[in-house]
Amino acid sequence: MNFDKAFELLIGHEGGYTANPKDAGNWTGGKQGVGVNKGTKYGIAANSYPNLDIKNLTLDQAKAIYRRDYWDKVCGDKLPASLAFHVFDMAVNSGISRGVKLLQKTVGSTQDGIMGPATLRAAQAMDASAAIMLYNANRLKFYTSLSSFGTFGKGWTNRVANNLELGVKES
């Protein structure tokens, strides 16, 4: 899967502008009630981009951010095509380090959150279907461990379910 296709799928998960005060990501301080609630648009959140005008962000600007700050950092072009979207999507949803750590856990690499050659080799050597299933199982375990699961868990699990459906089609 290439970046353009991955971005198209990702935007299907990410919505327009929201400023839910219960979502820590909407706050420039990264915690509920800390800083300014600038919100989230196309999944680009104020906690990660506190100086960005989130409300007026264009889709092209969001795409450039996703390419530079997420896809390239998880080495999307070097991952197996069937797995690239899953790692990219998790990195967007929960941070690059968390997305990479889940991949490392999935493939049996050291979980340091840094995408390196050993992780890439292990990912390339693993059966695609098994990698997708195990990666998403690890993702669900991570989500259910979060204190905010009661508030956001339904959306997260639906996102993973959609990704599993995609995995069946892609592998």
Which domain range does residue 134 map to?
73-170
10 Å CB burial of residue 157 (0-12, 13-18, 19+) is middle
To which H or E segment does residue 44 belong? strand 44-45
Cβ-contact 70, 63 below 8 angstroms:
no
Q: Return mean pLDDT, the chain.
A: 93
Q: Report the pLDDT value the prediction gives residue 12, as an integer from 0 to 100.
A: 76
pLDDT band at residue 162, thresholds of 50, 70 and 90?
Answer: confident
Give domain status of residue 129, yes or no: yes
Tens of pLDDT, residue by residue over 106-124, are 999 999 999 999 999 999 9
pLDDT band at residue 1, thresholds of 50, 70 and 90?
Answer: confident
Give domain status of residue 59, yes or no: no
Give domain status of residue 60, yes or no: no
Q: Report the pLDDT value the prediction gives residue 5, as an integer from 0 to 100.
A: 92
Give domain status of residue 14, yes or no: no
Could you tell me the CATH number of the domain that includes residue 110? 1.20.141.10
Q: How many domains does the chain have?
A: 1
Whether the predicted model's global pTM rises above the 0.85 cut: yes
Tens of pLDDT, residue by residue over 27-76, are 999 999 999 999 999 989 999 999 999 999 999 999 999 999 999 999 99
Give domain status of residue 160, yes or no: yes
Give domain status of residue 89, yes or no: yes
Give domain status of residue 123, yes or no: yes
